[in-house]
Structure 1
Amino acid sequence: SVFIFIFHQCICVSLCLPLSTHKNHVSLPVSVQLVKLCIGMIDAGKAYNTANKQFVNGIRELAQQSTKDEVIEVMMKWQLNWLIRPFFFFPLSSQILFDQAQRSIKTQLQTFVKEDLRKFKESKKHFDKVSEEKEAALARNAQAPRNKQHEVEEATNILTATRKCFRHIVLDYVLQINVLQSKRRSEILKSVKALLTGTFCTVRVPGGCMCVFQLDQLVVDAAKDKRDMEQKHSTIQQKDFSNDDTKLEYNVDAEKGIAMEGYLFKRASNAFKTWNRRWFSIQNNQLVYQKKFKDNPTVVVEDLRLCTVKHCEDVERRFCFEVVSPTKSCMMQADSEKLRQAWIKAVQNSIATAFRERGDEEEKLDRRASTSTGSLDSGGEPKEKPLKGESALQKVLTIPGNSCCCDCGQPDPRWASINLGITLCIQCSGIHRSLGVHFSKVRSLTLDTWEPELLKLMCGLGNQVVNGIFEARREELVARKPQPGDPRQDIEAYIKAKYVERRFVRRPSDEELRTKVVSLSKQEKRLSSSNEHLPPRPPPTPPMAMPAVLPPASPCREPVFYEPKDCSAGLQLYWAAGARSLPDMAEALAHGAPVNWVNAEDQKRTPLIMAVQGGSLVTCEFLLQNAANVNQQDAQGRAPLHHATILGHTGQVCLFLKRGANQNAADMEEKTPLSMAVEAANADIVTLLRLAKMNEEMREAEGYSDETYQDIFQDFTQMASNDPELLNRYEQYNTPRPGP
């Protein structure tokens, strides 16, 4: 009875095991396993009964052969008879159980497994075949080129027909899965009921009557569920899904944080640019995809806040769109225009949601900071650090024109192009990223850290100044400026015409350019003459033109400039850098001036060297942001770092070292910046150069961290931008020296 009770409990527990389904894979392990276990139990039980019967017969034969031995005869009669009795009666009861199991479990369930499961497997093969046909139709539809209309129509018609057939097969397949599961339960319940009913007449199982009642109720419920499923299936089959393709192709699971998921074709980054179908999803502010369902997701975009999404009409395939991040771009293709629009909208909504969540977090942090009490430095002024978030945003947006996007006019921009000095909305910033960093370098006004010199650069230009340069001829050419809400392709075309083709830039006449250059050269001379503590710069080689002399600004030297024979945009950039005029520098670059232009008439100096001579940290930053070569040397073999060291410009030395300046380069006199700083007894510059050299030597050491080095350079950067007089030790401790 214990064996029967345990067997009964195992059967009841097995009824709780669900049907195992996973995408297109369906298994019915419980029914098959139960049949196998039942067959094994019956075979083992029959073998046991046979062995038991042989054992009992062996004892009886032993007793018959020992009748002449009185001791054995008495023991067999009284002792072994009691031993044999259980072995004789147990096979009788177990045989009844085995026979009942044979009829109720093995025969009935085996018929279900062989017939019903065989039909199910055949329908599954049909489903797999139609699935493969649909995948082939999707691939053919994706490959159809947009310029071959007949191929597009043919692929679309095949996909429509295949998809319609696939839907009906899917619905039939799902119904068969559910019906089979319900029937599986029903068959197992009937078998167990028959087994319990057959065994109750022989053995009393605790709670047996109650179990039989529960089983009867479960069978009734299963039949009702089957009728409901068939009715729902009939209703769904009658529904028309022809105009609802999009909902069948992707899924949204808000509870799991999934904004969008579904299949897309992805263009590989290899040389062959192959397209592969992958399962994409937008979740946790990331864009990820999987090759197979159980694979770990591959992250395409780490942070959607730094990305933008755009239509792609310049590729051969249709329904393509691109997600562009600061480091890479991902080209994808949807199965239809509806799906493409849905994915683009999902990405845009995810970006907006991420910004709102980040804004809420920053607001909470600001509240905590404002409620915190006291300061360790309460006795002095707070130390200004690199700005981040609302501080940088507020300073930049106060510049005229910066409160709206420079290109489309969208209010409250949150992005900037640091080499152009303009503010941008999220959509235009994505377009600027796609142009490449040689045209525009995009940075967030709220998420990124802003160094003081970079912030001053943004404040020295602004949308109003830059648009005055890049849109000077827009009205003359009757070109419409985009507005917020215009199609992305229109805004993108306008931005390319504005910054790449420079279609709206007004080209100055030769006379206008000459006047501009002369004015800038005079301005540069006035500035250089006002800095009496700086060593004088040797005058340029005089051309044939007559010199014009300015009134002397100081008793130390008389500033002289020479009117150039030939003017160019490069010469304008050269003198504008020395005159510290960011708008004129931006105008020269817009006119096509090479940022590394060399003035052959002034010892082969570059605009960056002139910016050093002008003593402005911001003009140096502007040229470096526009790809100026920090190591380009003049006729004397001196790079910008040499000149900054000679002039005692500590902030510029710090800036050049951070930008990779070669401090080991020697000039024509075999002098390095360090030897020049030691000769001039400039302690700050010597310290910076030696720290940079030590950091370079120790960088390869295991476990080395350059945090201290970065902190020291950060302090020098802050002083150079906010308190330059603190670094003006060259004037305090040294008398004016003749120029080298």
Structure 2
Amino acid sequence: MSLLCVFFECLWFYFYSPSSCVVQLVKLCIGMIDAGKAYNTANRQFANGIQELAQQSAKDEVVESSLTKFAESLQEMINYHAQLWHFSVTHRDLRKFKEAKKQFDKVSEEKEAALIRNAQAPRNKQHEVEEASYILTATRKCFRHIVLDYVLQINVLQSKRRSEILKSMLSFMYAHLTFFHQGYDLFSELQPLMKLLGGQLDQLMVDAAKEKRDMEMKHSTIQQKDYSNDDTKLEYNVDAENGIVMEGYLFKRASNAFKTWNRRWFSIQNNQLVYQKKFKDNPTVVVEDLRLCTVKHCEDIERRFCFEVVSPTKSCMMQADSEKLRQAWIRAVQNSIATAFRDRAEDSEKLDRKSSPSTGSLDSGSESREKTLKGESALQRVMTIPGNGTCCDCGQPDPKWASINLGITLCIQCSGIHRSLGVHFSKVRSLTLDTWEPELLKLMCELGNGVINQIYEARRVELGAKKPQPGDPRQEVESYIKAKYVDRRFVRRPSDEELRLKVVSLSKQEKRLSDCSEPPRAPPSTPKARPESGASGGSPLIVFSAEVAELQLPPCSSKELVVFCEPKEYSPGLQLYWAAFTRSLPNMAEALAHGAEVNWINTEEEKRTPLIMAVHGGSLVTCEFLLQNSANVNQQDSQGRGPLHHATILGHTGQVCLFLKRGANQNVSDIEDKTPLSIAVEAANADIVTLLRLAKMNEEMRELEGPYNPTGDETYQDIFQDFSQMASEDPDKLHRF
């Protein structure tokens, strides 16, 4: 049996040794198949690339059709070529032979183990001898069967060796024959197209050579030109098809604390000035309407070629690359402004919101009217006042702008003129684009175009001045507005007697209750009452007493007793003083038109100002009106008390909130060394204490963060907004002791 094993091992070594031709051929076949598959994969990717190039060349019909046809032909050839790699010279009976070889090796090892065990069995242990002999006999029997199977598989392989190899090679050659035959037929069909394309290619090469010579000539011509002072050519084209009348690069100064300069692509389009950081970015609007802006040179900064575009809400500093380009941009902006006014493109500026019917009156301030105004837009609220449906100065319908210190509505052209007058004459705000505080809306509803025109146009007809009409030249409208508000040429000056009667009437007039911002509270301390008779100067006296506190006054009236005596002199300032106390905005506007100083001091009554009297009048709107007309929120009386002190003493939370928002200084002490905060703490007024402490914390936060946070904490802003809304809409909620 050992000789048989040696024979089998020698036969295996001969047939399957590494030097065997069959084994070597199998390895070469596997390598060729892998290389063929990689070749097909690369060819298929190449054909797909040609197909994509054909799709991108859709504008060139010749290139697109030719590349598509070539890609399809190559793809078909790749499919034919893939059939070659199904060939294999691996013998199909090798698996059975390998399994028989494994079983033979295993049984051989078991037989050797049985022989060793049988030899080691001791003679004095009969049971071990019998067991070893039994195992050896069984193992030899199994070994003979396995040897026969193994020899059978070797004989089968030997008999099929020549036939299988020749059959595989014949199949491989027939596959090549089919591949080349199909390729020949395919390219025979493609040959006419290739010949046609060859002829077209010759003409394309001639055209390309001609274009190359032309470009070289242009290049040489351009090189000879002097570009030492070259500027980009910019032209203003109002009829441009894309709506962009001018565009180009400019440097823009940022509005942050560092004032950095960034290069941006600017354009004038759709009556707006916009810029883009990148080409695909959405445009950022610098000026929403060029009719509301002006442009000017800037020579007072370090950089050259700078100019500034000033709009109603902001200004934008820009820098061109040269003086020529700066002048071109300035002319373009000016031309755009002129074109916009000339074309009268008002329809494009109108918003979808329409004004509601006019149902209010100049003096109406009832509760029902307030309910109808709630939930409406600023435009709808203001339009309820008669006369506000047209521009106050030129009569243009549907005005969308307003002057908040005058209380009038304006068209877009007149609003631009008002803005040019300066904020000390007129403060312009949009009725549709800006945010409106409740007190500002009430201010607009208290005045209106009718009231203001009765004051500022009282002598217009008498003087024979013509009021502008829609469509009149801008110069005429501007001249009329300056004469009306700056020179006050049409205001009727009252005589001394008329002024005296007006002041006496105001001093005796009960305060209107239509605009009571919040229920007043009894002051924490009772000022000393001055005698009603014998007082020097006959100044009005405000006396608090226990008897007055017992009077059944209307819920919104102040528990104050006013005694009026003849003053030394009557003046518009005194009219403003008493009008502020009686909450009469039309009389306040009339006094300002007659030349009253908004910070007029009543030297006969503790140096109080109209703003302090507005506080005692209990009206948030009159305080807002005076502040919009540049009243000093920190001006003190002879007691060292400013408006914030008086509002705190009276417990007027809404006015305290308003003064704090306008920058009132709460650190000032009166002659009794009391600050507004200490007064509020003594009065146990939680709302005012909260507001004062929040304002103090916000001021400290601004000081710590410096220029990076000029407005302070956002929570502070939200809280003050809530208090302001409550004081205007629901003042009863603030009446908490």
TM-score after normalising by structure 1: 0.55
CA change 1:590–1:267 in 2 (3 A) is farther
User: How many angstroms does 1:552 deviate by?
Assistant: 13
Structure 2 residue 725 is matched with structure 1 residue 718: yes
CA change 1:445–1:595 in 2 (3 A) is same
User: How many angstroms does 1:303 deviate by?
Assistant: 3.2
- Counterparts of 1:115-194 in structure 2 under 5 Å? 115-124=213-222
- Counterparts of 1:639-654 in structure 2 under 5 Å? 639-654=642-657
User: How many angstroms does 1:311 deviate by?
Assistant: 8.9
Alignment partner for residue 573 of structure 1, among 570, 573, 576?
576
- Counterparts of 1:130-529 in structure 2 under 5 Å? 251-253=240-242, 259-262=243-246, 281-283=267-269, 286-288=272-274, 301-304=286-289, 308-309=291-292, 324-328=311-315, 333-334=330-331, 341-342=338-339, 349=345, 352-353=347-348, 355-356=350-351, 390-523=376-509
User: How many angstroms does 1:396 deviate by?
Assistant: 1.4
Contact 1:663–1:689 at 8 Å: present in 2 too? yes
Paired with 1:592 and 1:533, the residues of 2 have a C-alpha distance of 35
Paired with 2:400 and 2:634, the residues of 1 have a C-alpha distance of 34
Partner of 2:74: none
Paired with 1:426 and 1:462, the residues of 2 have a C-alpha distance of 17
User: How many angstroms does 1:644 deviate by?
Assistant: 0.6
Structure 1: where are the runs of 5+ without partners? 1-6, 19-103, 139-244, 254-258, 270-277, 364-382, 731-740
CA change 1:337–1:685 in 2 (3 A) is closer
CA change 1:714–1:489 in 2 (3 A) is same
Contact 2:572–2:596 at 8 Å: present in 1 too? yes
Paired with 1:264 and 1:508, the residues of 2 have a C-alpha distance of 58
User: How many angstroms does 1:622 deviate by?
Assistant: 0.6
User: How many angstroms does 1:14 deviate by?
Assistant: 11
Alignment partner for residue 609 of structure 2, among 602, 606, 610?
606
Partner of 2:151: none
Paired with 2:337 and 2:715, the residues of 1 have a C-alpha distance of 50
Amino acid at match of 2:431: L
Alignment partner for residue 670 of structure 1, among 668, 673, 684?
673
User: How many angstroms does 1:386 deviate by?
Assistant: 11
Contact 1:262–1:279 at 8 Å: present in 2 too? no
Paired with 1:326 and 1:631, the residues of 2 have a C-alpha distance of 27
SS at match of 1:518: helix
Paired with 2:664 and 2:394, the residues of 1 have a C-alpha distance of 38
TM-score after normalising by structure 2: 0.55
User: How many angstroms does 1:569 deviate by?
Assistant: 1.8
CA change 1:612–1:298 in 2 (3 A) is same
Contact 1:285–1:354 at 8 Å: present in 2 too? no
Contact 1:482–1:494 at 8 Å: present in 2 too? yes
Amino acid at match of 2:311: V
Paired with 1:345 and 1:128, the residues of 2 have a C-alpha distance of 41
- CA offsets per residue over residues 19-49 of structure 1, 9 Å max, x none? xxxxxxxxxxxxxxxxxxxxxxxxxxxxxxx
Paired with 1:575 and 1:495, the residues of 2 have a C-alpha distance of 29
User: How many angstroms does 1:712 deviate by?
Assistant: 3.2
Contact 1:309–1:321 at 8 Å: present in 2 too? no
CA change 1:693–1:668 in 2 (3 A) is same
Contact 2:293–2:310 at 8 Å: present in 1 too? yes
Amino acid at match of 2:668: A
- CA offsets per residue over residues 74-117 of structure 1, 9 Å max, x none? xxxxxxxxxxxxxxxxxxxxxxxxxxxxxx99x98998588533
Paired with 1:552 and 1:335, the residues of 2 have a C-alpha distance of 66
Alignment partner for residue 658 of structure 2, among 655, 659, 669?
655
User: How many angstroms does 1:695 deviate by?
Assistant: 3.4
Paired with 1:532 and 1:644, the residues of 2 have a C-alpha distance of 10
SS at match of 1:585: helix
Amino acid at match of 1:565: K
Contact 1:250–1:263 at 8 Å: present in 2 too? no
User: How many angstroms does 1:617 deviate by?
Assistant: 0.9
Paired with 2:291 and 2:692, the residues of 1 have a C-alpha distance of 41
- CA offsets per residue over residues 392-418 of structure 1, 9 Å max, x none? 222211112112111111122222111
Partner of 2:630: 627
Alignment partner for residue 695 of structure 2, among 692, 696, 700?
692
Paired with 1:284 and 1:659, the residues of 2 have a C-alpha distance of 37
CA change 1:518–1:498 in 2 (3 A) is same
Structure 2 residue 594 is matched with structure 1 residue 587: no
Paired with 2:465 and 2:228, the residues of 1 have a C-alpha distance of 53
Q: Find the structure with the greater CA-based Rg.
A: 2
Alpha-carbon RMSD: 5.6
Paired with 2:543 and 2:679, the residues of 1 have a C-alpha distance of 33
Paired with 1:122 and 1:695, the residues of 2 have a C-alpha distance of 68
User: How many angstroms does 1:440 deviate by?
Assistant: 1.4
Contact 1:387–1:452 at 8 Å: present in 2 too? no
Contact 1:405–1:424 at 8 Å: present in 2 too? yes
- CA offsets per residue over residues 238-274 of structure 1, 9 Å max, x none? xxxxxxx975x76231xxxxx33226999999xxxxx
Contact 2:294–2:310 at 8 Å: present in 1 too? no
The alignment-based identity, stated in percent, is: 59
CA change 1:521–1:601 in 2 (3 A) is same
Paired with 2:52 and 2:210, the residues of 1 have a C-alpha distance of 20
Contact 2:244–2:270 at 8 Å: present in 1 too? no
Paired with 2:716 and 2:500, the residues of 1 have a C-alpha distance of 46
Partner of 1:638: 641
Paired with 1:337 and 1:666, the residues of 2 have a C-alpha distance of 53
- CA offsets per residue over residues 136-173 of structure 1, 9 Å max, x none? xx9xxxxxxxxxxxxxxxxxxxxxxxxxxxxxxxxxxx
- Counterparts of 1:545-584 in structure 2 under 5 Å? 555-556=547-548, 559-584=562-587
Amino acid at match of 1:252: E
Partner of 2:179: none
SS at match of 1:252: coil
SS at match of 2:601: coil
Partner of 1:76: none
Paired with 2:218 and 2:341, the residues of 1 have a C-alpha distance of 40
User: How many angstroms does 1:507 deviate by?
Assistant: 1.5
CA change 1:127–1:690 in 2 (3 A) is same
CA change 1:134–1:421 in 2 (3 A) is closer
Paired with 1:531 and 1:312, the residues of 2 have a C-alpha distance of 50
Paired with 2:333 and 2:648, the residues of 1 have a C-alpha distance of 62
Paired with 2:433 and 2:462, the residues of 1 have a C-alpha distance of 38
Paired with 1:431 and 1:587, the residues of 2 have a C-alpha distance of 22
User: How many angstroms does 1:478 deviate by?
Assistant: 0.8
User: How many angstroms does 1:302 deviate by?
Assistant: 4.7
Amino acid at match of 1:513: L
Amino acid at match of 1:651: G
Aligned length: 498
Contact 1:309–1:430 at 8 Å: present in 2 too? yes
User: How many angstroms does 1:623 deviate by?
Assistant: 0.6
Partner of 1:37: none
Partner of 2:109: none
Contact 2:291–2:337 at 8 Å: present in 1 too? no
Amino acid at match of 1:721: S
Amino acid at match of 1:477: L
